[in-house]
């Protein structure tokens, strides 16, 4: 018979508790360090957005503004020509975010909805009709692996030169997608559809075939089956996917920079323009605009938290 270790049960218990405490402490230290690493830039951005220009790059750094001001926000939310008191660091540029905000909301919402609609139906057909064969889903995702820089210039050529040239020669009217809402929406839709297909495939495949079979046997056509059975069951997934794609579009910079301006200006492009001849980069208004860009994403996230958890956890459809 094997001998039991010499320590008493109390000692063993104390040792176990000691080990658990140590592991817990270590876990917390690592998590806190990681949180600090992630949160610091956001804190710095928010803090800077309330600093006056003198404090932006002061040394030693001012962690919190010594003289908090809403000046930066007043500047980015200005509706008209900038008040002389506000424009002291600025050139004649009106640093209003309204145009950028409007454009970003319009482009990102439309493109995300379009991608969601197209991607969901494509995912349905890939799942149910095996469109494209067994490995099609992977092929689709690899399309998205191409870095945007590779296609940006090619798309620019199409938008600014080839399409206008072709339309002029063939139809006699000049059609250009460069610096247009349609152009940017199209490219955003195209680049995010693979993600939508990939994500929606996971959700749609959670819906058992037999539900659709049952509905069809009761006389429902394909469209009714999709509308009344499939879509309600993947609604959470659609919300999650929309949010994911919206955030991708909302933070996209390279394509917007290449294919637009000055007519269409998204927030990320606008953010890049905050410079003045006299003071260089305008960190204050940039921080304020950065904060404003972040807020909708956070609000959206909080609002749909329930769906996010449901969407990412799956397993809610099968009983």
Partner 1 sequence: MARILIKDLVKTFGGFTAVSGINLDVRDGEFLILVGPSGCGKTTTLNMISGLQSPTSGQIIIGNTVVNDFEPGERGLGMVFQDLALFPHMTVFENIAFGLRVKKVAEKEVRERVSAAAAAVHIEPLLAKLPRECSGGESQRVALARTIVTNPSVFLMDEPLSSLDAKLRVDMRTELKGLHKRLKATFVYVTHDQAEAMTMADRIVVMSKGRIEQVGTPLEIYNRPATQFVAGFFGMPTMNFLEGTVEVNGSGRCFRAAGLEQPLPDAVPAAVADRKVVLGVRAEHVLVGNGGALRGTAQLTEPLGDMTLVYFDYGQKSPLVAKVGPATPLQPGTPLSFGFAAERCHLFDAGSGARLF
- By the rule CB under 8 A, 208 interacts with partner 1: yes
Name the residue nearer to partner 1 (CB basis): 133 or 219: 219
Name the residue nearer to partner 1 (CB basis): 227 or 281: 227
Burial class of residue 117 (count of CB atoms within 10 Å of its CB; 0-12, 13-18, 19+): middle
Torsion of CA 37, 43, 44, 46, to 10 degrees: 150
Name the residue nearer to partner 1 (CB basis): 135 or 318: 318
Q: At which residue do the structure tokens 């049952």 appear?
A: 214
Cα separation values, 155 from 110, 150, 229, Å: 20, 9, 39
Could you tell me if 49 and 73 are in contact, meaning their C-beta atoms sit under 8 angstroms apart? yes
The piece of 63-71, 163-171, 212-220, 243-251 that touches partner 1 (CB under 8 A) is 212-220
Rounded Cα gap, residues 245 and 194, in angstroms:
10
- By the rule CB under 8 A, 210 interacts with partner 1: yes
Interface residue with partner 1, options 170, 218, 223, 277 (CB under 8 A): 218
- Please give the residues from 221 up to 240 whose contact with partner 1 meets the rule CB under 8 A: 221, 224, 228-229, 232-233
Interface residue with partner 1, options 213, 227, 281, 306 (CB under 8 A): 213
Whole-number minimum distance, CB 117 to partner 1, in Å?
Answer: 21
Whole-number minimum distance, CB 126 to partner 1, in Å?
Answer: 19
Helix (H) or strand (E) holding 7: none
Q: Which residues, 6 or more positions from 210, have their beta carbon under 8 angstroms from its beta carbon? A: none
Which residues sit at the interface with partner 1, rule CB under 8 A? 208, 210-211, 213-221, 224, 228-229, 232-233, 316-319
């Amino acid at each position: 018979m094997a001998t039991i270790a010499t320590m008493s049960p109390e000692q063993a218990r104390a040792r176990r508790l000691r080990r658990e405490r140590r592991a817990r402490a270590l876990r917390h230290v690592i998590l806190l360090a990681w949180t600090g690493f992630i949160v610091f830039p956001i804190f710095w951005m928010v803090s800077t957005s309330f600093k006056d220009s003198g404090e932006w790059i002061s040394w030693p750094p001012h962690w919190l503004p010594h003289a908090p001001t809403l000046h930066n926000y007043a500047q980015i939310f200005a509706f008209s020509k900038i008040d002389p008191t506000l424009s002291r660091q600025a050139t004649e540029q009106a640093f209003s975010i309204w145009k950028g905000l409007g454009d970003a909301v319009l482009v990102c919402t439309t493109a995300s909805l379009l991608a969601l609609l197209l991607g969901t139906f494509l995912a349905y057909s890939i799942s149910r009709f095996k469109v494209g064969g067994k490995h099609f889903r992977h092929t689709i995702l690899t399309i998205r692996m191409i870095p945007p820089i590779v296609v940006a210039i090619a798309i620019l050529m199409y938008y600014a030169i080839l399409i206008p040239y072709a339309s002029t020669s063939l139809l006699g009217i000049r059609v250009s997608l460069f610096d247009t809402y349609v152009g940017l929406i199209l490219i955003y839709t195209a680049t995010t559809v693979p993600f939508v297909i990939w994500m929606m495939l996971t959700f749609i495949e959670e819906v058992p075939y037999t539900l659709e079979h049952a509905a069809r046997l009761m006389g429902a056509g394909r469209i009714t089956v999709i509308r009344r059975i499939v879509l309600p069951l993947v609604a959470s997934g659609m919300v999650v996917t929309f949010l994911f794609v919206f955030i991708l579009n909302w933070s996209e910079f390279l394509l917007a920079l290449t294919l637009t301006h000055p007519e269409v200006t998204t927030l990320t492009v606008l953010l890049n323009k905050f410079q003045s001849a006299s003071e260089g980069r305008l960190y204050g208004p940039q921080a304020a605009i950065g904060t404003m860009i972040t807020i909708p994403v956070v609000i959206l996230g909080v609002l749909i938290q329930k769906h996010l958890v449901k969407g990412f956890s799956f397993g809610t459809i099968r009983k």
